[in-house]
Structure 1
Amino acid sequence: MINYSCINQLKTLKDIIRYTTTIFNESDIFFGHGSDNAYDEAVYLILHALNLPDDNLDMFLDANITKNEIRKILYLINKRVTLRIPISYLTEESLLQGYKFYIDKNVIVPRSPISELIQNCLYPWVKNPESITSILDLCTGSGCLAILSALAFQESMLTATDISVEALKIAKKNINYYNLQNRITTINSNLFDDIPIHQYDIIICNPPYVNTQSLNKLPKEYLHEPMIALDGGNDGMDIIKKILKNVKNFLKKEGILVLEIGNEYNNFVKNFQNINPTWVTTINTEKSIMLLNQEQIP
């Protein structure tokens, strides 16, 4: 619990940042939902609570903070430390590739490294971004990958699907925020079950893939996320098997599937010895994202 008696000692923005960073460092919270250290998380939480821009921190460091503002910040710190709630659920927003997305506990916190590939327009596998006219985002969650895809491939129409009705409400909110409602259609569907047959240039999917053993060892922060978006079954391959069984019917002959499997490389190889995908390395991942064309899919 946070000791609110410190309120009289905290005067400036610099004071509250130092104090919050110390509290976060001394706690057993896990960083992995947007930041990887106590200072960055403290600054983000505080600036959000004070409704201050994040690009002019130096300008406000010596500014005095009111007691009510300090109480608001201490309340958020307390929830972060004692309940282990990811910071993005406390602020109801998440940043991915510099873009802001509204979220709540009905969707996982956006963090897919597929976003890095989308920012680069899937180069070199896509030679001409303007040639991409149709994209499917399976398991869209907050809609972040669909939105980033729409912004990257500006000639494309997109379909974003999810099994969760509540997740699609959030996706629609983000789609509307970026004024993409005329280009992104949302469909409530269990994978391909309720999607009209159509051949797409690109299919993107960040499915549930965490295996049962790993799921039981996740830090408490992840337990605030919807299990339906994380749980991939005993070996993490339950959903991936269903995707690979049906995806060929929805992919153009020259189209590509971009599929994230997290840390389940060994389990993938065990289950799909007849598939030899292209493994894509990102800044922080290796053998976590695969690319498949139609010929590579059995």
Structure 2
Amino acid sequence: MVISDLFKLWDKNELTIALNHFYGYKREELLLNPNRELKPDELEKMLDLIEKRKKHIPLQYILGKWWFYDIEVEVEEGVLIPRPETEILVEKAIALTKPGMKILEIGTGTGIIAISLAKHTVAEIIAVDISERCIDLSNRNVSLNNISGIDFRKSDLYEAVEGLKFDMIVSNPPYISENERDKLEKELSYEPENALFSGDDGLDIIREIIYKAVYYLNKKGIIIIEIGFDQGEAVRDLLKNSNFTGIELIKDYNGLDRVVVGRLAG
């Protein structure tokens, strides 16, 4: 089978990413040589990938790695897959970070937010997650990217940072409503439920993060949270009621509310 025949079987972009990842083929090389014959092992690998994708197994889990911002990380089942929308949160956090700040990330997953901050800022970072699997993966991704300065801790929200104070709290928490469960893409069924769903309105974890943040932030400390597209006003009210000011809603690439920023009143 040649390249052009393979591209008729499944999404060309996904197959191009896979061929580059597994065999080093460049996109331009594949486009310029559509009649290139695939080796037997290459064809077998791609046909297996197509069968897995037909079962809605996420491409990221099949590849075992993914790219976010300017960083490559390992991904695996049981850990939330990094998404482009979260880059908006990272960019804002980087822009607001001053040298020497103490940052807490809640729900680190692959560690990608903390790693991005450590790579592009000079800050002290503690990143927590309730999953030991996430902590192990995050530590592997730190080594993969030769990053230092992050303290990963297994923790249910603030449990492992009792008594500590931070200048910034960042989080991409679960924020999907349980009522939306049956309407979601089938790929999401492979990702961990506790990283996706958060009560009837999707705000259970966000409420807890915000209500308790006042005990862990220094005066004028910053909180940055990724939210659902229809949660902007509700989260703004939560922040206002918890003594946060200067609240900003940041939209995603589709013009929808995606990130909220607030400062604790001094």
TM-score above 0.5: yes
Tell me how far 1:244 sits from its aligned partner: 1.0
Query: What's the offset of the Cα at 1:130?
Result: 4.4
Whole-Å separation in 2 of the counterparts to 1:204 and 1:266: 16
Indicate how the Cα distance of structure 1 residues 159 and 92 shifts in structure 2: closer, same or farther if over 3 A, else same. Answer: same
The percent of aligned pairs where both chains have the same amino acid is 25
Gaps in structure 1 of 5+ consecutive residues: 1-9, 22-37
Two-structure CA RMSD over aligned residues (Å): 2.5
Equivalent residues of 1:162, 1:187 under 8 A apart: yes
Aligned to 1:295: 265
Runs of at least 5 residues in structure 2 that lack an aligned partner in the other structure = none
Within-5 A mapping of 1:149-164: 149-153=117-121, 155-164=122-131
For the pair 1:206 / 2:178, whether they are aligned, the reply is no
3-state SS in 1 of match to 2:105: strand
C-alpha displacement of 1:54: 5.2
Q: Quick check: 39-48 or 269-278, which moved more?
A: 269-278
State the one-letter code of the partner of 1:272.
Answer: L
Alpha-carbon distance, 1:208 to partner: 0.8
Report the Cα distance in structure 2 between the residues aligned to 1:278 and 1:290, rounded to whole angstroms: 6
User: Is contact 1:118-1:152 (8 Å) kept?
Assistant: no
Q: 1:53 to 1:136 in 2, by over 3 A?
A: farther
Secondary structure at the counterpart of residue 256 of structure 1: strand
Match of 1:145 in 2: 113
Amino acid at match of 1:104: E
Rounded to whole Å, the distance in 1 between the matches of 2:232 and 2:41 is: 52
Q: How far apart in 1 are the matches of 2:165 and 2:16? A: 45
1:282 lines up with 2:240 in the alignment: no
Which residue pairs with 1:85 in the alignment?
57
**Aligned partners of 1:208 and 1:121: how far apart in 2?**
19
Residue aligning to 1:189: 155
Shift of 1:273: 8.3
TM normalised by structure 1 equals 0.79
For the structure 1 residues 226 and 285, does the alpha-carbon distance in structure 2 shift closer, same or farther, using more than 3 Å as the test?
farther
So what's the TM-score if we normalise by structure 2? 0.88
User: Over residues 75-131 of structure 1, what are the superposed CA-to-partner deviations in whole Å (9 max), with x where a residue is unaligned?
Assistant: 1101111x11010011011111132110101211101524234346543xx2xx543
Letter in 2 for 1:92: G
Q: 1:48 corresponds to which letter in structure 2?
A: H
Higher mean alpha-carbon deviation, 107-116 vs 135-144, is at: 107-116
Tell me which moved more, 246-255 or 86-95.
Answer: 246-255
Q: How many residues align?
A: 262
Q: In structure 2, do the counterparts of structure 1 residues 285 and 135 end up closer, same or farther at CA, with 3 Å as the change threshold?
A: farther
Tell me which amino acid in the other structure corresponds to 1:145: I
1:253 aligns with 2:219: yes
Counterpart contact for 2:82–2:112, Cα < 8 Å: yes
